[in-house]
Amino acid sequence: MTTQKATRASPLCTQQRQENRELAYTRQGMEHVIRRMKVFRVLKGVYRHRRRRFALRVQLIAALCNLTRACQS
């Protein structure tokens, strides 16, 4: 889903503004997770090896990120 944009001719109504805020709130959380995962060098660049192993490595990195986040709380 994408945000809705206002123009001079048609400004956003309150419901559209609320939807944009909710979308921004969820996007912010996702971007924080992606930032945490990109600390690992494997996910920063283009992965040039087999694709099956990439999925496994992403799962392992996600598990490490979840574990470190759980330990901080």
pLDDT digits 0-9 by tens, 42-72: 777 777 776 667 788 888 888 888 887 777 7
DSSP state of 10: S
Confidence band for 34, pLDDT divided at 50, 70 and 90: confident
CA 61 to CA 63: how far, in whole Å? 5
Decide if 16 contacts 28 (C-beta within 8 A).
no
> Residue 6 contacts by C-beta under 8 Å, 6 or more apart in sequence?
12
- Distant-in-sequence, close-in-space partners of 73: CB < 8 Å, separation ≥ 6: none
